[in-house]
Amino acid sequence: MYPKITLINKNRRSLIVFERDLNNPINEGFIIFWEIINTNNKQLIFKKRLLTIRAQQKLKRLKKEGWINSNELDKVA
C-alpha cells in the first residue's frame, strides 16, 4: 500500500508529503516537496507521481538520512 506520511528534515526547512492517488491508492500516489518559509508559509517545490514500490524505497532512504515523521513531533509537543 502507498505510504501516507509527512516528513520534515532536521533543520525544519523542508517538508515531504506522501499522498495516495484516490483513483489508484494501492499502486500509485504522489510525493510533494515543500520549502518552509516560516511557520505559516510554505512554498511548493514540486509534485511527482510515484509507484508504491518507489515511494516505499524513497521513504526508507529519507528516514535513514534523518527525516522525521511530522506526526510524531505533534505527539511530543
Q: Would you say residue 60 has pLDDT above 50?
A: yes
pLDDT at position 66 is 93
Rounded Cα gap, residues 24 and 45, in angstroms: 24
Q: Would you say residue 7 has pLDDT above 80?
A: yes
pLDDT at position 32 is 96
Q: Would you say residue 71 has pLDDT above 80?
A: no
For the four alpha carbons of 60, 62, 65 and 71, in that order, the dihedral sign comes to negative
pLDDT at position 75 is 46
Q: Do 14 and 30 form a contact (C-beta atoms < 8 A)?
A: no
Residue 25 phi, psi dihedral angles, 5° rounding: -70, -20
pLDDT band at residue 41 using 50, 70 and 90 as cut-offs? confident
Domain boundary assignment for the chain: 1-33
